[in-house]
Amino acid sequence: MAASASSRATPKKVEHVSWLFTLGSIFSMFGGPLFILWCFVCLETNKGSMILPEALTVDALKNFFVFLLGEIHRIAYPSAKAVTVYLSWVALQAVFFHFGPGPVGKGKVLEDGKTRLSYKYNGQFAWFSTLAIVAGLHLSGVFTLSELFALYGPMITVTNLFTAVLIAVLLVWAAVANKWDRQSDSIVYDYFMGPMLNPRIGSFDIKFFFELRPGIMNWFFNTVAIAYKMYEENGTISKPMILIIYMHLCFVNACYKGESSVVQTMDIVYEKFGWMLCWLDLCVVPFIFSFQPYYLYKMGLAFDYALPIAIGLGLLHTFAYWMFDTANSQKDYFREDPKEWIEKGFPQLYWGKLENPKYMQTKRGTKLLIDGWWKYARHLNYVGDMLLAWTWGVTCGFGSVFPYVYAACYLTPLLIHRERRDNRDCAAKYGKDWEEYCKIVPYRMIPYVY
């Protein structure tokens, strides 16, 4: 039956991809998880100093990999407890996601030019409920933060395995139901990039769920569990650790506060849900982002700084966060149809909405904001985001590269590339209007500099 149904379906165009992309995908899918595990081994066993092969010879490389795999087996073996805890965690978040109360809104028009999917925004409900549940589990002794900390290494392996299995299931689903989006002639590449754009079971949007829920909250609770471990061992926690908790808290809360803006991003509108996106959401975010507190924990109370420095870093972060939050919010509020506007959650910040702002009407029909942050440079929202990431790194000092992995290896190259691509795309979309806009707002990211 399935075969005859699929043979009746309209044949879709299959894109050709070069073998280089297939090879790149394979390399990323082995190299990415190994990279996170290597970082963890360096943090856990070498206080954040890099462990590298002693020489570039076959023997030295072999010794290095034997050592690395041995350490991974020792400190990151995917125990049955880690699997059980992780599956329960995903199930709990799925229940909140599906049944939790929240307003329903429409996403952007998809690439077919007509579909607009509905999304329920109950992120803050899930976030605050989970905070209460985790506090209850810890205080009652049912599942403490120390137990969560003990699972940190095993969880890295579990989330990587979970990602691999989840995407395999989606691939089989796409094949059986002939539900491909932008299918290629390489099954490996389709696994990497994703077989489908917005896989859904009824109204349960799998991509939106994994984009925001289990991974981002996992990150915050990792940070808190690591800080708690420092407290258990020292009877107190350092100023850098307090700062990192505050910084991560701001960002995680922003993800749920501004959930309705996330459905406007390229990840939701354009990227398919494959290994790459899922791995970023479930493995990179909770672990690479929490290498900062892990490093601070390993440094113990020996790494600290004077109160004025801590206050300065806290203020710098608060400014960067305010810029990031309000720059995005100003544009969203300006662009959103007032009838469809969904009020953002807590906290509402000063200058988040501009009343009667200056704008430029384009021939394409859309308006370009030339007021608020948007009159100083064309992408101060990216600058705020990057400033946040670098502040998290600097808060951990300069003794290790691992607190900087997120800012240096991921966010900065991504946003610089994205700004250039966006500028090019907008120049093509808007033509002469974009030239006019660039005369009014001449700086791309940093006023008077770039």
Q: Which is nearer to ligand NDP, 76 or 283 (CB)?
A: 283
**Min dist. Cβ of residue 271 to ligand NDP (A):** 10
Q: Which is nearer to ligand NDP, 234 or 265 (CB)?
A: 265
Residue nearest to ligand NDP according to CB distances in the complex: 385
Q: Which is nearer to ligand NDP, 64 or 443 (CB)?
A: 443
d(CA 336, CA 161): 39
Helix, strand, coil: what percent of the chain each, to 5? Answer: 65, 5, 30
Q: Is the CB of residue 60 less than 8 Å from the CB of residue 68?
A: no
Nearest to 98 by CA among 201, 198, 167, 173: 201
**Min dist. Cβ of residue 425 to ligand NDP (A):** 6
d(CA 221, CA 218): 5
Q: Which is nearer to ligand NDP, 126 or 212 (CB)?
A: 212
Q: Which residues contact 412 (CB under 8 A, 6 or more apart)?
A: 386, 389, 390
Q: Which residues contact 425 (CB under 8 A, 6 or more apart)?
A: none
**Min dist. Cβ of residue 221 to ligand NDP (A):** 19
Q: By the criterion CB under 6 A, which residues form the site for ligand NDP?
A: 265, 324, 328, 331, 335, 366, 368-369, 374, 379, 381-382, 385, 411, 414-415, 418, 422, 426, 429
Torsion from C-alpha of 30, 394, 249, 153, nearest 10 degrees:
30
Q: Is the dihedral of CA 348, 350, 354, 360 positive or negative?
A: negative
- Extract the tokens encoding 302: 């020996």
**Min dist. Cβ of residue 31 to ligand NDP (A):** 19
Q: Which is nearer to ligand NDP, 149 or 406 (CB)?
A: 406
d(CA 88, CA 83): 9
Max CA distance (Å), the chain: 72
- Extract the tokens encoding 362: 């384009």
Q: Which is nearer to ligand NDP, 305 or 443 (CB)?
A: 443
Q: Which is nearer to ligand NDP, 83 or 269 (CB)?
A: 269
Partners of 361 in beta bridges: 367
Q: Is the CB of residue 268 less than 8 Å from the CB of residue 118?
A: no
**Min dist. Cβ of residue 205 to ligand NDP (A):** 18
Q: Which is nearer to ligand NDP, 237 or 288 (CB)?
A: 288
**Min dist. Cβ of residue 262 to ligand NDP (A):** 8
Q: Which is nearer to ligand NDP, 74 or 429 (CB)?
A: 429
**Min dist. Cβ of residue 168 to ligand NDP (A):** 25
The DSSP code for 368 is E
**Min dist. Cβ of residue 13 to ligand NDP (A):** 25
**Three-state DSSP class for residue 448:** coil
**Min dist. Cβ of residue 140 to ligand NDP (A):** 35
- Extract the tokens encoding 134: 């985790």
> Cis before residue 403, ω within 30 degrees of 0?
no
